[in-house]
Structure 1
């Protein structure tokens, strides 16, 4: 039986945390929140992400065995999207994102799909991937390097043609892609506007 987190006052660290630094505490609480089924409101975000600064590198290990590194996609607009087969909002946004990616591939749009599914769910991931116009791979863990622990999905990060972070998914209140959001966030980047 899973142990329920105890109710504590604001700022009271959970017992057993030896390092009281704020960053370490937030990361540990984020981990507890994930383990507790997301009962805690909002785990830590990656601290190093800054709009207009170089985007941290990502490498997608695709289902067909290729490695696609964001650093090799300079000159293209890149959307790194994190999703799972069991996530309803993800499954709603994927066809929208796929259609948009297909329509704008000639303009230099590249979407990379990172699935948070477990390796045991690979057949389900493959079924979804077969319907999409962009490459998919399993993330392998909940950590995405400098993008932090992926604690909510869907979440996406957009990188401009110069390799700079243009949209930080952790800052989006409505993170799922819609046609309106794609027009607002991605269309100006494809048109060469910052």
Structure 2
């Protein structure tokens, strides 16, 4: 099940003083302030960004743990899955091995997965440990706000970009949002079967 951020009041009742818990509480608080400040005139955060499948996907750049920058605009001709996760997200940690195995099997067909971690820099050792087991590059996301994709408020969430650079699957609309073997085959399989 996807992990949705809860209210700052709920976070305050927790006694977990860890940096992860503090970061989650801060993200929740920021979301509550943004929603309260915007009032009822704004759409929910997942819809506010107007992502449209079939339209050009907004650009993303992954700054990898080993210092490279991978831009989706440089991956035209490949199918790209941009996945957002965190070490403290249990559904994410369950999904990552499946996604990694799928990425490794289908890389020869032109599949590229980019892993954006919402962990903070102080959790870099944990992120590196997880990343070492994955077949795709991982980097830390500097902010939960991603231009044109909105605030990453639910984890895991992924977006699929086709070979022509169009958004093929909007993760905000996915129900359930986690990847399964069946969902990968249904969503990504046909894109891999098509040439550019």
TM-score normalised by L of structure 1? 0.80
1:45 aligns with 2:47: yes
Aligned residue for 1:173? 175
Aligned residue for 1:186? 188
| In structure 2, distance between residues paired with 1:3 and 1:81 | 29
| In structure 2, distance between residues paired with 1:72 and 1:46 | 27
| In structure 1, distance between residues paired with 2:165 and 2:46 | 24
2:88 to 71, 86, 89: 86
Indicate the structure with greater helix content: 2
Q: Which runs of 4+ in 1 moved over 4 A?
A: none
The answer to whether the Cα contact below 8 Å between 1:77 and 1:190 also exists between their aligned partners in 2 is: yes
**Larger RCO (CA within 8 A; separation ≥ 6):** 2
Q: Tell me, which stretches of 5 or more residues in structure 2 are unaligned?
A: 1-7, 11-33
The answer to whether the Cα contact below 8 Å between 2:45 and 2:150 also exists between their aligned partners in 1 is: no
Aligned residue for 1:66? 68
The answer to whether the Cα contact below 8 Å between 1:158 and 1:165 also exists between their aligned partners in 2 is: yes
The answer to whether the Cα contact below 8 Å between 1:59 and 1:69 also exists between their aligned partners in 2 is: yes
The answer to whether the Cα contact below 8 Å between 2:117 and 2:138 also exists between their aligned partners in 1 is: yes
1:122 to 124, 140, 148: 124
The answer to whether the Cα contact below 8 Å between 1:159 and 1:166 also exists between their aligned partners in 2 is: yes
SS of 1:146 mapped into structure 2: coil
The answer to whether the Cα contact below 8 Å between 1:96 and 1:179 also exists between their aligned partners in 2 is: yes
1:22 to 41, 47, 53: 41
The answer to whether the Cα contact below 8 Å between 1:50 and 1:165 also exists between their aligned partners in 2 is: yes
The answer to whether the Cα contact below 8 Å between 1:55 and 1:164 also exists between their aligned partners in 2 is: yes
Aligned residue for 1:110? 112
The answer to whether the Cα contact below 8 Å between 1:45 and 1:149 also exists between their aligned partners in 2 is: no
Aligned residue for 2:28? none
Larger Cα-atom Rg: 1
Residue 191 of structure 1: CA displacement? Answer: 0.2
Aligned residue for 1:142? 144
SS of 2:125 mapped into structure 1: helix
The answer to whether the Cα contact below 8 Å between 1:60 and 1:114 also exists between their aligned partners in 2 is: yes
The answer to whether the Cα contact below 8 Å between 2:48 and 2:150 also exists between their aligned partners in 1 is: yes
